[in-house]
Structure 1
């Protein structure tokens, strides 16, 4: 489990195709000794397993295997050397829950339609897949590229989020442009509420 609060921005060092999966090496600022093999790290949203860890000249690196399902359902298929990724270590019992509960299981890829910049902030208008729009509520939580955000407004399958200067500075969001694809995970509570409503029918 995660909170959607980004703790580092990693950089893809290499991508190696291995049959139906990609082995991806990611550079980060986490101490190498703090990453155990088998640890879960959210990389731009998807929860991935560290299968190898090491220390380079200036940065720690870890490697993950991105399986076919993840490649098909997320933006991971577009990762290349130099791609920046929002990173978050898995939640420990007793950690502060500053965002919302995030699983790292991506529901779909959404698209940024427009970006409005003002007062150091940016408002992003985003289109979600139509089948997921019912899970997105005004003032509710949503996880986009691993970041816990609050939904400002919703109209059909289009919603908006507002990012403050701090969030823009410590995540990949300041690099985003209209037309970019992003990983979307709907709020876990919204999913269960919808499922209970369906069961009642």
Structure 2
């Protein structure tokens, strides 16, 4: 689990294909400092597992064909800059929102309007995900926790402050470039619960769980 508060931007140093897996290495000194095999790191919003002890600030991870297709990873090359965040701990401040690192879809930047040192960015997304967005709600773009300022059928806009621009790759994002999108997990679970109630099962209640040993 992550919060969408980026710790540093890193650089892809290698992308190698092994059958149906891709082995990727990323230079990120801050997130690598205490990383160990099995640890989770969000790379541009994608939760990956460190597979070997980091060396000289570089960590390595493998991704499946499903992750490769669903995310922007197929665009990555040596030199690509990415947003990095370590997984939260019980003592971590939840400064953004709950981010799983499970990308729902790819979107793209459609418009960028500078306002002094800040910027308003507009992204398009697959229309079927519109139900998970709300005015002033949260969305993760390339792993960055952002607040929806404007919303249409298939686009949303966010106002990005200078601090966030300076710490993430959003500062260099250009119209037409793809992004990883993760929608609010609470909205998705709410939808699932409502669907569950419509299957003829009893309403979720204290008695329901008590009867099942919880």
TM-score (norm 2): 0.89
Q: What secondary structure sits across from 1:139 in the alignment?
A: coil
Give how far 1:31 is off.
Answer: 6.6
Query: Counterpart of 2:99?
Result: 102
Range with greater deviation from structure 2 (87-96 or 27-36):
27-36
Give the CA deviation at 1:32. 4.5
CA distance in 1, matches of 2:131, 2:108: 17
Deviation (angstroms), 1:194: 2.3
Q: Which of 151, 161, 165 is equivalent to 2:162?
A: 165
Which residue of structure 1 lines up, in the alignment, with residue 207 of structure 2?
A: none
| 2:163 alignment partner, SS class | helix
> Match for residue 66 of structure 2?
69
Whether 2:10 is the aligned partner of 1:10: answer yes
The unaligned stretches of length 5 or more in structure 2 are 199-214
Residue 49 in structure 1 maps to residue 46 in structure 2: no
Quote the RMSD (CA, aligned, Å): 1.3
Distance 2:33 2:160 in 1: 33
- Aligned residues between the structures: 198
Among 124, 131, 135, the residue aligned to 2:121 = 124
Deviation of the 1:133 alpha carbon: 1.1
Q: Structure 1 residues 55 and 117, CA, compared in 2 at 3 Å: closer, same or farther?
A: same
Compare 135-144 and 46-55 and name the one that shifted more. Answer: 46-55
Secondary structure, counterpart of 1:37 in structure 2: coil
Between 23-32 and 184-193, report the one with greater CA deviation: 23-32
CA separation in 1, counterparts of 2:79 and 2:133?
32
Distance 2:156 2:92 in 1: 30
With normalisation by structure 1, the TM-score equals 0.94
Give deviations 1:105-161, integer Å, cap 9, x for gaps: 000001111000012111111111111011111100001100000000111111101
Deviations 1:151-188 (A, max 9, x none): 00111111101110000000000110000110000001
Kindly indicate whether the alpha-carbon contact (under 8 Å) linking 1:66 and 1:76 is maintained by their aligned counterparts in 2: no
Answer yes or no: is 1:21 the counterpart of 2:18.
no
Q: In proportion to residue count, which structure has more strand?
A: 1
Instruction: Flag the structure with larger Rg.
Output: 2
Contact 2:121 2:157 in 1 (8 A): yes
